Structure 1
Amino acid sequence: MNKEKKQDSLVGNEEEISINLAEIFQAIKSHFILIVAISVTFAALGVIYSLTIPNEYLCTVKLLPEVDSKSAGGNLGGLKSLAGLAGVDIGSGSGVDVVRPEIYPSVLQSTPFLKEVLKSKVYVQKRSKWISVYDYLITSPEQAPIQLFGNKKEEFKKEENPTVLPKEGLSPELIKLNKKELAGIINLKNRISAETDKKNGMVTISVKLTDPVAAATLASFTQNYLTKYVTNYRTEKARKELKFLQDRHEESRKTYDDALSRLSTYKDQHRNTFLQVAKDQEKKLQYEVDLAFNIYSSISTQMADAAVKIQRETPVFKVLEPVQIALQKSEPKRSLISIGFLFFGLFISLIVVFLKTVNLKKLLS
Structure 2
Amino acid sequence: MSEEKKDIISKAPEIDLMVYVKKLWLARKQLIKVAGVSAILGLIIAFSLPPMYKVEVTLAPESGKGGGSEISGMASMLGLGNMTGGANADALTVSLFPDIVKSTPFILELFDIHVRTSKDSLEQTLVSYIEQEKAPWWKVIPSLPGKAIHGILSLYSDKQKKESDNIDAFHLTGTQMGAISKLRSSITANVDKKTGMTNVTVTLQDPLTAAIVADSVVTKLQKYITSYRASKAQQDCDYLEQLYKERQQEYYQAQQSYANYMDANKNVILQRVLTEGERLQNEMSLAFQVYSQVATQLQVARAKVQEAKPVFVVVEPASVPLHTAGLSKIIISMGFVILFIMIAIVWVLFGKDFYSSIKSELYS
Deviates more, 1:205-214 or 1:145-154: 145-154
Report matched runs for 1:196-345 at 5 Å.
196-271=191-266, 273-331=268-326, 333-345=328-340
The 1:105/1:261 distance shift into structure 2, 3 A limit, reads same
Measure the CA separation in 2 of the matches of 1:212 and 1:156.
31
Measure the CA separation in 1 of the matches of 2:114 and 2:313.
25
Match of 1:53 in 2: 49
CA contact (8 A) 1:46 1:338 kept: yes
CA contact (8 A) 1:39 1:342 kept: yes
Match of 1:21 in 2: 21
Find the residue that maps to 1:119 and give its secondary structure. coil
TM-score, normalization by structure 1: 0.72
The residue identity in structure 1 corresponding to 2:187 is: I
CA contact (8 A) 1:66 1:315 kept: yes
The 1:271/1:155 distance shift into structure 2, 3 A limit, reads farther
CA contact (8 A) 2:190 2:199 kept: yes
Q: Residue 44 of structure 1: CA displacement?
A: 1.9
Match of 1:89 in 2: none
The residue identity in structure 1 corresponding to 2:222 is: T
Find the residue that maps to 2:102 and give its secondary structure. coil
CA contact (8 A) 2:93 2:229 kept: no
The 1:271/1:153 distance shift into structure 2, 3 A limit, reads farther
CA contact (8 A) 2:83 2:304 kept: no
Measure the CA separation in 2 of the matches of 1:133 and 1:281.
72
Find the residue that maps to 1:124 and give its secondary structure. coil
Q: Residue 53 of structure 1: CA displacement?
A: 1.9
Find the residue that maps to 2:96 and give its secondary structure. helix
The 1:43/1:182 distance shift into structure 2, 3 A limit, reads same
Match of 2:36 in 1: 40
CA contact (8 A) 1:124 1:131 kept: no
Aligned residues: 318
TM-score, normalization by structure 2: 0.72
The 1:125/1:153 distance shift into structure 2, 3 A limit, reads farther
Higher helix proportion (structure 1 or 2) = 2
The 1:289/1:193 distance shift into structure 2, 3 A limit, reads same
CA contact (8 A) 2:84 2:304 kept: no
CA contact (8 A) 1:57 1:326 kept: yes
Q: Residue 114 of structure 1: CA displacement?
A: 1.4
Q: Residue 330 of structure 1: CA displacement?
A: 0.4
Find the residue that maps to 1:263 and give its secondary structure. helix
Identity of aligned residues (%): 27
Match of 1:66 in 2: 62
Unaligned stretches of 5+ residues in structure 1: 1-5, 70-91, 163-172
Match of 1:80 in 2: none
Choose which of 118, 127, 151 in structure 1 pairs with 2:111. Answer: 118
Unaligned stretches of 5+ residues in structure 2: 1-6, 66-81, 160-167
Residue deviations 1:284-320 (CA, integer Å, cap 9, x gap): 2222222222222111111112222334445542322
Report whether the alignment pairs 1:175 with 2:170: yes
Q: Residue 364 of structure 1: CA displacement?
A: 5.2
CA contact (8 A) 1:136 1:142 kept: no
